[in-house]
Amino acid sequence: MPCENYKDALTEAAASGADPANALRSNAKMAALRAHFESCASCRTAFAEEQALFISIDAGLHATANAEVPASLLPRVRAALEEVEAPRLHWMSPLIFATTSVALAFLIFLIARPYRSVSDDQAKQTPPISMPLKPPTGSRGQISPSSVQSASTSANHLRAPRKSTLVHSAASSKPEVLVPPDEREAFARFVAALNARSDFAAAIVAEAPEKKDALVVVEPLQISDIELKPLESKETESSDRAGEKH
Amino acid sequence: MQELALIQPGGMARDEFLREAAQAEARREFEERLAECGALAYRVARGVLRNSADAEDVAQEALLRAYRRFDRLRDRNRFRAWLVRIAFRLALDRLRSSKRREQRDMFLSHPAHQPPAATAEDLAVSNEFQAHLDRALGELPEKLRLVLLLGAMEGHTIDEIAAIVGVSAGTVKSRIFYARKQLAEKLRCHAKTIKTR
């Protein structure tokens, strides 16, 4: 057992890692410790043990801290880096695809818009004929004037501008057209026939292409030259005489 | 509106191109550091975990994490210190999660009775002392442990350790001294037992 008074100094001296002789000479505290060692064998032994302990600790730390690096580490890391980058691309490509698709769809929408609106108009214009009018199940007399009236209203809307809808036509405050009873009846029959043949109705309902008024170009008449032929006098005279005799 | 829709994909493609170029540059730069610092990450992890397989896993994870966040590192000269901290933190996390299992393994793999080593050097390299040392190292405070490990690694001066840890050189010296002293206190009884047997 080391002497209690020198225990800490002994440990510090050993922990310093320096050569014991040099360490003990370096300052007054160490000089006192060296002087004590000359008279105390147990402290000398304890100091040697402490030194051996620190040497062991340092050697063990060196072995732990400088362990050989496995050769597989860097290839593993490089392979993992490749895997890290691959999912990034997988994640990005749907995003790019989606963005491009949206942009493309928007572009197509913009291009196709006028055509679609025409077909929309047709779709909007068709219901006023078919919806309010049910196919006539009975005779002519069963067609009520109200249905004829609604048909006439919807027929008016067929020629109305694009934006017209069924609701709008129902709520329209346009003045109604007064139709004589026989014309109303004929129109009802016509509407019933339209309802039976929807394709025919669509053909009628379809907008006619607008034609702008243009100047009529009248081409000059081409008259061929007149041929003058001499009269055959003998044959004519004999035939005249024969006619006189009769 | 239509023009904006047509320009936007082009802009995104350009951004994507720039991003990929930046990624390639970062990858090249990281590759340069990988060969240099891969061993450091492994050794730090190995010093904490005391297990080669776990240390390799942690080193790999640390390097991958460093790669993912490489663009956030403004001062690339700090990469070494940054990687050491990442590896050290990951190793500590791994150690905590598997502490119970590791303690059991250590207890089973190091029986109490074993022939004593003849010299201090033999003692150091003996499995028993190494196991005690590793265990004592694991019980050290984190800041002391990291400094002690870096100090024991070849090629690290006090100033370099100070730069890595972000403290002064005097603090590094002080921490190394206290760390060794604490280790000696923990290991003294084992050394005496072995020596006197």
**pLDDT tens by residue, B126-172:** 677 888 888 888 889 988 999 999 998 887 889 989 988 889 999 99
Nearest Cα neighbor of B188 from A7, A4, A63, A90 is: A7
> How many angstroms separate the CA atoms of A158 and A119, rounded?
14
CATH of the domain at B165: 1.10.10.10
Question: Inter-chain contact B152–A65, Cβ cutoff 8 Å?
Answer: yes
B52, B8: one domain:
yes
Highest mean pLDDT among A17-31, A130-144, B5-19, B181-195 belongs to B181-195
Please count the structural domains in chain A.
3
Would residue B103 count as lying in a domain? Answer: no
B62, B94: one domain:
yes
Contacts of B91 in chain A (CB under 8 A): none
Range of the domain at B192: 110-197
Domain boundary among B36, B66, B98: B98
B87, B116: one domain:
no
pLDDT score for B90: 93
Would residue B194 count as lying in a domain? Answer: yes
Residues of chain A with pLDDT under 70: 1, 17-26, 85-94, 114-175, 201, 204-205, 207-214, 232-246
Distance from chain centroid for Cα A208: 35
Would residue A221 count as lying in a domain? Answer: no
A135, A109: one domain:
no
pLDDT score for B56: 92
Show the tokens assigned to A176.
Answer: 């109604």
Would residue B104 count as lying in a domain? Answer: no
Would residue B14 count as lying in a domain? Answer: yes
Contacts of B43 in chain A (CB under 8 A): 65-67, 69
B88, B157: one domain:
no
Question: To the nearest whole angstrom, how far is the Cα of A90 from the nearest Cα of chain B?
Answer: 14
pLDDT score for B172: 93
Question: Inter-chain contact A100–B9, Cβ cutoff 8 Å?
Answer: yes
B16, B88: one domain:
yes
Would residue A216 count as lying in a domain? Answer: no
A-facing residues of B in 34-93 (CB < 8 A) are 34-35, 38-39, 42-43, 46-47, 50, 52, 55-56, 59-60, 63-64, 67-68
Instruction: Identify the burial level of A37 via C-beta atoms within 10 angstroms of its C-beta, where 0-12 means exposed, 13-18 middle and 19 or more buried.
Output: buried
B183, B91: one domain:
no
B57, B149: one domain:
no
Q: Are B194 and B117 in contact (CB under 8 A)?
A: yes
pLDDT score for A17: 64
pLDDT of residue B195 exceeding 60, the answer is no
pLDDT score for B16: 76
Residue of A nearest to B23 (CA): A85
B128, B185: one domain:
yes
B2, B93: one domain:
yes
Please count the structural domains in chain B.
2
Question: Inter-chain contact A63–B125, Cβ cutoff 8 Å?
Answer: yes
pLDDT score for A5: 78
| B116 near A CB under 8 A | no
> How far from A76 is each of A39, A80, B39, B46, B64, CA to CA, in Å?
61, 6, 13, 17, 10
pLDDT score for B88: 92
pLDDT score for A155: 44
Contacts of B59 in chain A (CB under 8 A): 73, 77
Domain boundary among B63, B98, B133: B98
CATH of the domain at B79: 1.10.1740.10
Mean pLDDT value of segment B10-26: 74
Would residue A223 count as lying in a domain? Answer: no
B70, B6: one domain:
yes
Range of the domain at A109: 70-117
B117, B94: one domain:
no
Share of chain B above pLDDT 90, in %: 22
Would residue A240 count as lying in a domain? Answer: no
Residue of A nearest to B150 (CA): A65
Domain boundary among B58, B78, B98: B98
Average pLDDT of every residue of chain B = 78
Would residue B11 count as lying in a domain? Answer: yes
Contacts of B182 in chain A (CB under 8 A): none
Show the tokens assigned to A243.
Answer: 């006619």
Mean pLDDT value of segment B95-115: 60
pLDDT of residue B94 exceeding 70, the answer is yes
